[in-house]
């Protein structure tokens, strides 16, 4: 006996089996590449979509500015209120000016950390994403009587992110970038969380993504990120596009388009009330 399989099958049959296997492998490879291309396309479509704009101020109904000093969070009612409405005087029913209340719910403003913390903790229990995010920041910095605890901060930012807080995801991205809060440095995870933040509308996270793309020499992708960030009021991204133009990386049309996007943004956020606040105090600067 001792017949091997090649003795049993003719040479022609062996050749056709081999050819068929190679064919199948090729089809599998092509389908695999195509589906991963589609996946990348879908991913980019989602990533480079202009996010929904910041919420409007609940008092003047104008778009809230991107700049932090352009608005303030009130833990009494959980509202984010624009600098103009924060600065404007508030009157009671008799027309007397009330000293420093919440401009939305008129709760008297307290300067006691304990009272503010209690209010914010209550908001946190009610799943207020901004309160959860803020308390995470207090834990990160060991501020306002909270002990410094980066791990606790990360836990809270995950919760705030799931509730739709974009900057919470950016902070998680930074934790993975720097290896803080008990997580190892992980560039992939850092990018993943920066992307989540950018998709949800965090222009700062988008700027970081753009910078990474520029460093990798992917100027097209960098420009796409910066353009979206400029439309959402990120002036640093506009400066970078200006520099790109200076170096000849982007065209004059690109730079002009970026300037126009920034003007459109300014048109949405500017008001005389906000200008007045910004002129009175640098703390109320909003663009
Ligand atoms: Zn307002
Ligand atoms: Zn309030």
CB within 5 A of ion ligand 2: which residues?
74, 76-77, 102, 104-105, 107
The CA distance from 10 to 195, in Å, is 57
For residue 244, the CA-to-ligand 1 centroid distance in Å is 35
For residue 86, the CA-to-ligand 2 centroid distance in Å is 11
Helical pair 219-231 and 252-269, crossing angle rounded to 10 deg? 20
Superfamily of domain 112-201: Tetratricopeptide repeat domain (1.25.40.10)
Residue 147 has pLDDT above 90, yes or no: yes
For residue 116, the CA-to-ligand 2 centroid distance in Å is 12
For residue 136, the CA-to-ligand 2 centroid distance in Å is 21
Residue 226 has pLDDT above 70, yes or no: yes
Task: Assess contact for 210 and 237: CB atoms under 8 A.
Answer: yes
For position 97, what pLDDT does the model report?
85
* Tally of residues, the chain: 287
Task: Assess contact for 57 and 81: CB atoms under 8 A.
Answer: yes
For 16, the token pair is 């056709």
For position 9, what pLDDT does the model report?
62
For residue 285, the CA-to-ligand 1 centroid distance in Å is 14
For residue 80, the CA-to-ligand 2 centroid distance in Å is 9
The CA distance from 234 to 139, in Å, is 27
Domain locations in the chain as residue ranges: 53-91+104-109, 112-201, 203-270
Q: Which H or E run contains 119? A: helix 113-125
pLDDT tens readout for residues 39-74? 789 999 999 999 998 889 999 999 999 999 999 999
For residue 257, the CA-to-ligand 1 centroid distance in Å is 28
């Amino acid at each position: 006996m001792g017949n091997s399989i090649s003795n049993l099958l003719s040479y022609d049959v062996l050749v056709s089996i081999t050819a068929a296997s190679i064919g199948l492998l090729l089809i599998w490879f092509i389908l695999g590449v195509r589906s991963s291309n589609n996946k990348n396309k879908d991913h980019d479509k989602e990533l480079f979509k202009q996010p929904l704009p910041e919420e409007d101020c609940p008092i003047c109904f104008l778009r809230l500015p991107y700049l932090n000093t352009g608005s303030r969070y009130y833990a009494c009612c959980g509202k984010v209120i624009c600098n103009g409405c924060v600065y404007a005087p508030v009157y009671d029913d008799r027309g007397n000016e009330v000293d420093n209340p919440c401009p939305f719910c008129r709760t008297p403003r307290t300067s006691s950390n304990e009272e503010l913390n209690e209010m914010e903790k209550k908001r946190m229990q009610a799943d207020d994403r901004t309160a959860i995010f803020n308390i995470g920041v207090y834990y990160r910095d060991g501020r306002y009587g909270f002990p410094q605890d980066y791990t606790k901060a990360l836990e809270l930012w995950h919760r705030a992110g799931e509730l739709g807080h974009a900057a919470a995801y950016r902070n998680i991205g930074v934790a993975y970038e720097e290896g803080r809060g008990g997580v190892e440095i992980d560039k992939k995870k850092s990018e993943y969380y920066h992307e989540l933040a950018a998709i949800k509308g965090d222009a700062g996270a988008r700027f970081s993504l753009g910078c990474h793309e520029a460093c990798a020499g992917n100027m097209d992708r960098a420009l796409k990120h910066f353009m979206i960030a400029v439309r959402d009021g990120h002036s640093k991204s506009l400066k970078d596009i200006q520099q790109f133009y200076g170096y000849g990386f982007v065209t004059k049309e690109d730079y002009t388009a970026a300037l126009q996007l920034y003007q459109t943004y300014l048109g949405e956020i500017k008001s005389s009330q906000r200008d007045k606040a910004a002129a009175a105090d640098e703390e109320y600067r909003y663009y």
